[in-house]
Amino acid sequence: MKTLVITKKQVSGVLTPRVTNRTVEKAFRAYGLGQADMPPKSYVYFKKGDLRAMPAYLHGQGFNIAGVKSVNVHPGNDRFGLPTVMAVIVLVDPRTGFPLALLDGTHLTMMRTGGAGAVAIKYLSRKTARVAGFVGSGIQARTQLACAMEVRGITAIKVWQRNKSSTSAPEFCGWAEKTFGLQASISREIDDVTTGVDILFTTTPSRKPIVTRVSPGTHINAIGADAPGKQEISPQILKTAKIVVDDWRQASHSGEINVPLLRRQLRRKDLHGELGAIVAGIRAGRATEEEITLFDSTGLAIQDMACASVVYRKIKARGGGREIALF
């Protein structure tokens, strides 16, 4: 038997925002129904970053696949000409343990995170949402927006520019205008971006709260906090919000809620539940137009394996990829 090697170009050819959203939603439903096994991600820390191992087994909603993702986060990688986040996925046949495929997981990680945000928006934001705010304007902001456009009719975005010399905010706005025809504006005042919006995306590596004000009815996709010590949202906002996590075990030690929990500013009973339970119909989503909702996204291996499975099946059917004999 041989293992199929699948590149970023091939992954991106399959994982459109629509396909990604549908796949990630099915993965959350499987998890909510107990049709997936997933231990929390584990970390190895270096001086300049970390390495994470993320295994999962999906056995429901049309999936029967397992695997593990190896992913790093090195914020200083730009000086080496490398992405901050790089990932490789090994997709495994649960019947034999044979490695079916070795996939580029870097683009897949960006897309599945956008897909998770879109699923949260579908169940937690107001259906009439039209204006989105962005605190953080890098690659993840683009995939969050691209996937969100599939579930809500966003017409305008407001983007925070931390530094006057930063080019990421203008580049992001230009891309959004060209790609989706959106009205885009930039502000150096973060409160201008976090208030008066229907959906707020936070995608920074901040280790202290930078979002301190939001308007009633806002849905927040808190994406940036994905390791211990990271946080973007004021504990005061968390206390008043309906908080939904992707996974309690991961979020409690590395998500947006990890620092407030450690400091006893938040307790587990303050959380509404997990997104998988909402997608599966076990828990309710948004209840009123005025409530503030927040999705704490840490990134789940079930999302990776579901998306990798879809890519593998499509590439295999096309006769694409490159087969190698590992053993």
**How do the domains of the chain map onto residue ranges?**
3-109+302-324, 126-299
**Closest to 186 (Cα-Cα) out of 159, 154, 155:** 159
Q: Around Cβ 305, how many Cβ atoms within 10 Å?
A: 29
Tokens of 213: 């004000």
Residue 69 a catalytic site member: yes
**Which CATH number is associated with domain 3-109+302-324?**
3.30.1780.10
Give 41's strand partners: none
Burial of 153 (C-beta count, 10 Å sphere; 0-12/13-18/19+): exposed
User: pTM above 0.85?
Assistant: yes
> pLDDT tens digits, the chain, 327 residues: what are they?
999 999 999 999 999 999 999 999 999 999 999 999 999 899 999 999 999 999 999 999 999 999 999 999 998 998 999 988 899 999 999 999 999 999 999 999 999 999 999 999 999 999 999 999 999 999 999 999 999 999 999 999 999 998 888 899 999 999 999 999 999 999 999 999 999 999 999 999 999 999 999 999 999 999 999 889 999 999 999 999 999 999 999 999 999 999 999 999 999 999 999 999 999 999 999 999 999 999 999 999 999 999 999 999 999 999 998 999 999
- The residue annotated as part of the active site, out of 41, 69, 122, 230, is 69
Q: Phi and psi dihedrals of 219, rounded to 5?
A: -105, 135
Pick the CATH number of 126-299 from 1.10.8.60, 3.40.228.10, 1.10.3720.10, 3.40.50.720: 3.40.50.720
